[in-house]
Amino acid sequence: MFRLILVHMIKSHSYHPHSDQEYKTFLFSYQFDGVRWELPIIAKSPEEARARLNRFPYATYDGELKMTIPISSTFFPFHHIINSILNIFRSRQ
């Protein structure tokens, strides 16, 4: 399965089109095979990030991320509309 993911970056924060509040990236770390790894979680607050982390046991494998393409809103001004359309298709799967 191959998916192309377009990432809209605003000053190192992500923005969700259905929210008035900016999402931030929070880092969590864990040990595996003697190595420390970091896991970024996008959320509104550290508390929400921890709540999202608690949902990981229910996660499903969707495939391997091959690349992200950062774009700016000046390059792609209708990203909110595209994201909404993609969310509709995702919810039907």
Which residue has better confidence, 81 or 75?
81
What does the pLDDT read at residue 18?
53
Cα atoms in the 13 Å half-sphere on the side-chain side of 49: 15
Q: Note the pLDDT tens digit of each residue in 33-59.
A: 999 999 999 999 999 999 999 999 999
Average pLDDT of the chain, as a whole number = 75
pTM: 0.53
**HEC states along 11-50?**
CCEECCCCCCCCEEEEEEEEEECCEEEEEEEEECCHHHHH
| pLDDT for residue 84 | 74
Decide if pLDDT at 9 tops 50.
no
Query: Mean pLDDT throughout 14-30?
Result: 74
